[in-house]
């Protein structure tokens, strides 16, 4: 489908926590009218302030071409599911709890047209399980965003067993109009693509640290200064082309058998979580934070998000190489 043919239609976002609010801002930034639904009592007011903050942040970062007032005009902040009636697509962003999601789907499907598309932002619940909870499973799929949604290009579209592929392909086209670089996973694989790649790295890194072969800081440093130097431009497979395939093949042969293949989770993770550590959010994680130190990290991350978004736009693949490239595998 030619993305130019898609006219922005009303989109519903249900659940206005960390991700839901950020997704609302991303959709508004790309010119879509949004019905943002706060499903729990008292959340609407909090969400209004949070979304206003995010809009200001997006504006200061230069990713709000239409300006704040136009975005606010296009936003309907509601608590009543009936207000979703004119939404052609509804994005569910409530807590990662299947029972709660199930109740939310009942309320969504009671309000929207039967051919509306319903999507979940779940990180870990299989789409094939969630789609059993709606009357039209073929029009249900996963749309997995990254945080902050209005400053990241990532969008992973995932089919469940019963998803109609043409619906998923349509959502990929929509994703381009939301300013994303969408990917399509035709089979509902646990962890989707992104978590499978990242957690393979976590398994290896945690094992190296647990065995005392390196430190957490050095594992982080290696990742930052090696992968970090090229990954936003080329991804992992094009990187192999740059390194030379013969060298890559030799390294694959030598290293695959050496890599960690464990199924248990390193004890240090369990100990940290049991001790109440939540990460930077409560200033207690794999690293120790003072309040000032944590704030500096949060500010740096926010600035970095803006810079990397801008850098990735400058090196956008479709602008640099407008003709479609062939790949061998
Ligand atoms: N945080 C991330 O970076 C991230 C990334 C990708 C996907 N996700 C997924 O997005 C979804 C939302 O995650 P989040 O980080 O925004 O969570 P969050 O805790 O910030 O927000 C969850 C929202 O769920 C809703 N909610 C809570 N209890 C409810 C109830 N009993 N009934 C109805 N609604 C209720 C509320 O609107 C609440 O704000 C999850 O499925 C999560 O796996 C999160």
CB atoms within 10 A of CB 204: 16
**Model confidence at 102, in pLDDT bands (50, 70, 90)?**
very high
Q: Are residues 71 and 176 in the same domain?
A: yes
Mutate to test the pocket of ligand 1, among 15, 20, 22, 127 (most ligand atoms within 8 A of CB): 15
Query: Would the pLDDT of 263 be above 90?
Result: yes
Per the structure block, which two tokens stand in for 267?
């004890």
Could you tell me if 182 and 305 lie in one domain?
A: no
Predicted pLDDT of residue 249: 97
**pLDDT tens-digit map of 280-328:** 989 999 999 999 999 999 999 988 988 998 888 888 877 787 777 777 7
The pLDDT, as a whole number, for residue 69 is 97
In the reported structure, the alpha carbon of residue 231 is separated from the centroid of ligand 1 by a whole-number distance in angstroms of 29
Percentage of the chain modeled with pLDDT above 90: 85
Summarised one tens digit per residue, pLDDT across range 70-81 is 999 999 999 999
Nearest CA to ligand 1 atom 3: 147
pTM over 0.85: yes
By most ligand atoms within 8 Å of CB, the mutation choice from 17, 180, 193 for ligand 1 is 17
pLDDT at residue 250 above 90? yes
Helix (H) / strand (E) containing 144: strand 140-145
Q: Is the CB of 125 under 6 A from ligand 1?
A: no
The torsion angles phi and psi of 92, rounded to 5 degrees, stand at -90, 125
Look up residue 306 and give its two tokens.
Answer: 């803006």
Ligand 1: does its nearest atom lie under 6 Å from the Cβ of 193? no
DSSP E strands: which ranges in the chain? 11-14, 34-37, 75-78, 89-92, 117-120, 140-145, 154-159, 181-185
Average of per-residue pLDDT across 31-56: 97
pLDDT at 6: 83
Q: How confident is the model at residue 117 (pLDDT cuts 50, 70, 90)?
A: very high
Residue 259 is part of a domain; what is its CATH number?
A: 1.10.1040.10
Domain C-terminal end among 162, 190, 218:
190
**CB of 112 closer than 8 Å to CB of 66:** no
Q: Could you tell me if 45 and 11 lie in one domain?
A: yes
Compute the distance from residue 213 Cα to the ligand 1 centre, in Å: 37
Least confident of 2-16, 165-179, 219-233, 256-270: 2-16
Query: Is the beta carbon of 11 within 6 A of some atom in ligand 1?
Result: no
Burial class from Cβ neighbours inside 10 Å (0-12, 13-18, 19+) for residue 159 reads buried
Contacts of residue 284, defined as CB under 8 A and 6 or more positions apart, other chains included, come to 276, 277, 278
Please give the pLDDT value at position 252: 97
What's the gap in Å between 260 CA and the centre of ligand 1? Answer: 32
Identify the residue whose tokens are 């694959």: 252
Are residues 303 and 270 part of one domain? Answer: yes
Same domain, 215 and 175: no
Residue 122 has pLDDT above 60, yes or no: yes
Mutate to test the pocket of ligand 1, among 81, 95, 118 (most ligand atoms within 8 A of CB): 95
Answer whether residue 224 is part of any domain: yes
Give the pLDDT confidence score for residue 4 in this predicted structure.
67
pLDDT reading at 1 higher than 60: no
Q: Are residues 173 and 224 in the same domain?
A: no
- Burial (CB < 10 A; 0-12, 13-18, 19+), residue 16, is buried
Is 94's C-beta closer than 6 angstroms to any atom of ligand 1?
A: yes
Q: Region 195-200: what's the mean pLDDT?
A: 94
Order of strands across the sheet with 181-185?
75-78, 34-37, 11-14, 89-92, 117-120, 140-145, 154-159, 181-185
17 CA distance to ligand 1 centroid (A)?
6
Compute, in degrees rounded to 10, the torsion defined by CA atoms 302, 179, 232, 93.
60
Q: Is the CB of 119 under 6 A from ligand 1?
A: no
Same domain for 208 and 150:
no
Residues spanned by the domain of 16: 3-190
Distance CA 123, CA 95 (A): 10
Query: 165-202: b or e for each residue (b if 16 or more CB lie within 10 Å)?
Result: eebbebbbebbbbbbbebbbbeebeeebeebeeeeeee
Enter the tokens of residue 310.
């801008």
The total number of structural domains in the chain stands at 2
Inter-residue contact 154 to 32 (CB < 8 Å): no
């Amino acid at each position: 489908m030619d993305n130019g043919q898609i006219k922005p239609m009303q989109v519903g976002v249900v659940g206005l926590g960390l991700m839901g609010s950020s997704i609302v801002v991303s959709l508004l930034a790309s010119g879509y009218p949004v019905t943002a639904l706060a499903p729990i009592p008292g959340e609407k007011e909090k969400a209004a302030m949070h979304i206003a903050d995010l809009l200001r942040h997006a504006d200061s970062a230069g990713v709000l071409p239409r300006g704040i007032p136009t975005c606010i005009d296009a936003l309907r902040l509601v608590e009543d599911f009936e207000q979703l009636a004119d939404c052609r697509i509804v994005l569910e962003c409530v807590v990662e709890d299947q029972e709660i999601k199930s109740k939310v789907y009942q309320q969504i499907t009671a309000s929207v047209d039967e051919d509306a598309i319903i999507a979940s932002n779940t990180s870990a619940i299989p789409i094939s399980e969630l789609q059993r909870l709606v009357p039209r499973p073929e029009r249900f799929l996963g749309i997995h965003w990254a945080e902050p949604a209005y400053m990241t290009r990532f969008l992973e579209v995932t089919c469940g067993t019963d998803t109609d592929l043409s619906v998923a392909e349509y959502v990929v086209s929509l994703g381009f109009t939301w300013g994303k670089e969408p990917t399509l996973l035709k089979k509902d694989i646990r962890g989707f693509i992104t978590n499978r790649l990242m957690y393979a790295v976590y398994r290896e890194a945690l094992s190296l640290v647990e065995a005392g072969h390196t430190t957490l800081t050095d594992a982080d440093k290696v990742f930052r200064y090696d992968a970090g130097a090229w990954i936003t431009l080329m991804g992992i497979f094009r990187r192999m082309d740059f390194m030379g395939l013969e060298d890559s093949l030799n390294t694959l042969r030598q290293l695959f058998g050496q890599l960690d293949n464990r199924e248990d989770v390193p004890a240090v993770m369990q100990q940290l979580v049991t001790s109440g550590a939540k990460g930077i959010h409560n200033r207690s994680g794999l690293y120790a934070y003072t309040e000032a130190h944590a704030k500096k990290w949060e500010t740096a991350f926010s600035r970095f998000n803006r810079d990397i978004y801008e850098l990735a736009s400058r090196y956008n693949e479709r602008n640099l190489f407008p003709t479609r490239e062939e790949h061998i595998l």
